[in-house]
Amino acid sequence: MAVRAVRGAVQLERDDAGHMRDRVGGLLTAVLERNGLVPDDLISVWFTATPDLHSDFPAVAVRELGIVDVPLICAQELDVAGAMPRVVRLLAHVETDLPKSAVAHVYLGAAAALRKDIAQ
C-alpha cells in the first residue's frame, strides 16, 4: 500500500459557516468517492482558505462527516492580487494501491479553473 497525495479545491459563493461546511464536506466526499477511498484510508488533511473566508474552519466539515480520528490542519492561503476569491483547498494524504497517475484530483465548480492540468 502506498501513500499518495490528493489535491482538491472548491469555491464558495459566500463566507457563511453552514455553506462552508456543506461545500467542504462535499469536496472531501468527492475526493474519497472518485479515488475509491474510505475514511480509514485518510492519513491527514491540510486545508487552506483564502483570506476572505473567516466564518469557520474548513476542518469542521470533516468532523461533521464523522471523521474524528484523522489529523486535520487549517491555514490561510497567500493573499495574491487577482487570485480567485472564497476558495478552500485541500491536500489529503491517503493510503491506496492507486498509482500516482490514477489519482483523481478534485476541483469543484469554478475552482476547476485553478488546475485545468490535473482537475478531473
Which sequence positions are flagged as catalytic? Answer: 7, 63, 74, 77, 89, 107, 115
Strands 72-76 and 42-49: parallel
Give, as one character, the DSSP assignment of residue 105. Answer: B
The SS3 of residue 1 is coil
CA separation for the pair 115, 119 (Å, rounded): 6
